Amino acid sequence: MTTGALTADGRARILNDGNQIPLLGLGVWQMSDGRECIDAVRWALEFGYRHIDTAQAYGNEESVGTALLASGVPRDDVFLTTKFFPRNRDPVAALEQSLRRLRVDHVDLYIIHWPEGGATWAWPGMERARELGYARSVGVSNFSATQLEEVIGAGSIPPAVNQVQFSSLHYRRALLEACQRRGVTLEAYSPLGTGRHLANQTVRQVAQRLGRTPAQVLVRWCVQRDVPVIPKSTHRQRIEENADIFSFHLSDEDMLELDALDETDGTDRALEHAWW
């Protein structure tokens, strides 16, 4: 199996450590702990999602764990991500607490949520979490091409994933290329621009032409670039809609039209403004 290639069914991507990440996941950022998050994860699993993305900073790991347990879907069938909150000092100790909240014995992916305090200090702890079997894969999030180089230079293994804000309106082409050159899988968060991109005229026109919704077009744009993507919704019908992206295709012309919406100037940066 080749790193970066898709699995035979075209639904998952092979990471540089040999593990597989489903292209479609549910992101649970900004879901409140309790009923809202439990329902969303439950519905996603019903509709066939097999990839859930949470974080220590979201404060809803317990709800993700509750929904997973209640779903009856075997643990091994679900790709579970959480993120190290970098205002804590110890990635291993923080993950031990996440595992307790999630009620699992490992996560599939553990990533540094953002490079606060520098790109490299937390990486040895991330590698240790992997060695202990707490995380099958480890990676980073919100890292620029330069920060990615730093962490690769400092570590014994490279990150498997760099999860960043990515969509046709945030088409960070140079960052995507830097990840590809290094065998790191770029993963897209906020594929709908936290909802803002849904009103974009071009996105709407492409959607109308194809008899699809703007959300489906935006998620499909990522999938068609072999980029794993984690749209967020708390609504049952939208969660279902966002998963129906393997039954249609964007033409080369559609892709070009959407690529041209990029507002980042093809940057190799992960963010326009750091929040820390």
Cα angle, residue 52 at apex, residues 224 and 12 outer, rounded to 5°: 35
Residue 10 as a binder of ligand A2P (CB under 6 A): the answer is no
Say which amino acid occupies 52: I
Residues 146-205 that bind ligand A2P (CB under 6 A): 190-195, 198
Residue 36 as a binder of ligand A2P (CB under 6 A): the answer is no
- For the question of residue 171 being annotated catalytic, the response is no
CA dihedral 242, 244, 247, 253 (to 10 degrees): -10
| Shortest Å, Cβ 186 to ligand A2P | 16
Q: Closer to ligand A2P at the Cβ: 138 or 164?
A: 164
How distant, in Å, are the alpha carbons of 24, 213, 248 from that of 126? 24, 39, 38
Q: Closer to ligand A2P at the Cβ: 98 or 190?
A: 190
Residue 212 as a binder of ligand A2P (CB under 6 A): the answer is no
Cα 81 to Cα 152: distance, rounded to the nearest angstrom: 21
Tell which one of 140, 215, 223, 227 touches ligand A2P (CB under 6 A).
215
Count of alpha carbons within 13 angstroms of residue 12, beta-carbon side: 16
Site string for ligand A2P, 217-256 (x = CB under 6 A): --------------xxxxx--x--xx--------------
Can you give the binding site for ligand A2P, defined by CB under 6 A? 27, 190-195, 198, 213, 215, 231-235, 238, 241-242
List residues with catalytic annotation.
58
